[in-house]
Amino acid sequence: MSSSEAALKHGWYLLKAKYREEVRAQDNLEHQGFEAYCPLIQEKSTRVPLFPGYLFIRLSRKDLPSYHKIRSTRGITQVVRFNKISHKLFNEGRLPKGDLGKLLPSPIPNGDQLIDQIEAFVWKYNGCIPDDKPVSIRFREGESVLYDNPLFRHLESTFVKGVNMDRGIILIQFIESLRTDEGIEEQVIARREIEVPLKDLQKVSEER
């Protein structure tokens, strides 16, 4: 890992999206494994972005190998940067090599708190004002769910907990069928917890 990659900090970042492609950009990012958020408000018979032309993405160290994919994601034009001075110095050849990490974008200050506030506003604006997180209404801890994702939709998963108003953590079990003298026996060979959008989850009872 280069010194510039190591300088990428965990947190929420602001992305510039193409006009009217904010939701598509969010979907494209999520399909690549990123956590993205485009707040939508209800206007007449449709939902529109609260911040037209922008959306949010939360990055952590696990996202470093895929960071370069963000700008080439369909619907995304750029990662918003607030370090114009560093870029000016770099373009003028006056930025020390040890400071190259400063060319990377910085996370939004108090990003988690800001996103929670935006989510709360969206819920109130849309006429839904839950006392608790929506996950406590839609899904319960230990409940069987299906994750609508090409890689995991064939696997039955367990809801672990909610993270915020739109996301939660599920436990996915990878099961292998083994042939024994007594017949076919299923054995869990791996378990993995992943954070997913709640909109992509369905209760097993509703699916069957």
CATH number, residue 194: 2.30.30
Q: And the tokens for 57? A: 């993405």
Instruction: State residue 73's pLDDT score.
Output: 95
96 domain-assigned: yes
Instruction: State residue 102's pLDDT score.
Output: 60
**What single-letter amino acid sits at 146?**
L
> Domain end: 125, 145, 166, which one?
125
Are residues 164 and 202 both part of a single domain?
Answer: yes
Are residues 77 and 144 both part of a single domain?
Answer: no
Are residues 93 and 156 both part of a single domain?
Answer: no
Whether the predicted pLDDT of 96 surpasses 70: no
Q: And the tokens for 127? A: 């006429």
Q: Is the dihedral of CA 96, 101, 105, 108 positive or negative?
A: negative
Paired with 170 in beta bridges are 159, 194
How far does CA 161 lie from the centroid of its chain? 16
Backbone angles phi, psi at 85, to 5 degrees: -65, -45
* Beta-carbon contacts of residue 159 (< 8 Å; ≥ 6 apart): 139, 140, 141, 142, 143, 144, 145, 168, 169, 170, 201
Which is nearest to 74 in space by CA: 12, 27, 13, 14? 27
**Please, are residues 78 and 18 in contact by the beta-carbon 8 Å criterion?**
no
Q: And the tokens for 207? A: 């699916």
Are residues 139 and 111 both part of a single domain?
Answer: no
In what helix (H) or strand (E) does residue 203 lie, and over which residues does it extend? strand 201-203
140 domain-assigned: yes
Instruction: State residue 10's pLDDT score.
Output: 82
130 domain-assigned: no
Are residues 154 and 56 both part of a single domain?
Answer: no
Share of the chain above pLDDT 90, in %: 22
178 domain-assigned: yes
**What single-letter amino acid sits at 159?**
F
What is the band of 5 on the pLDDT scale with cuts at 50, 70, 90?
A: very low
Are residues 113 and 11 both part of a single domain?
Answer: yes
Q: pLDDT tens for residues 20-29?
A: 999 999 999 9
Q: Tally the domains of the chain.
A: 2
Give pTM, 2 decimals: 0.57
How far does CA 200 lie from the centroid of its chain? 12
Are residues 192 and 157 both part of a single domain?
Answer: yes
**Please, are residues 172 and 157 in contact by the beta-carbon 8 Å criterion?**
yes
27 domain-assigned: yes
| Higher pLDDT, residue 170 or 139 | 170
Task: Give CA–CA dist 166/80, Å, rounded.
Answer: 23
Domain of residue 10 covers: 3-125
Beta strands in 33-151 (DSSP E): 35-37, 40-43, 46-49, 54-59, 76-79, 144-147
> Domain end: 73, 91, 125, which one?
125
Are residues 120 and 139 both part of a single domain?
Answer: no
> Domain end: 125, 148, 177, which one?
125
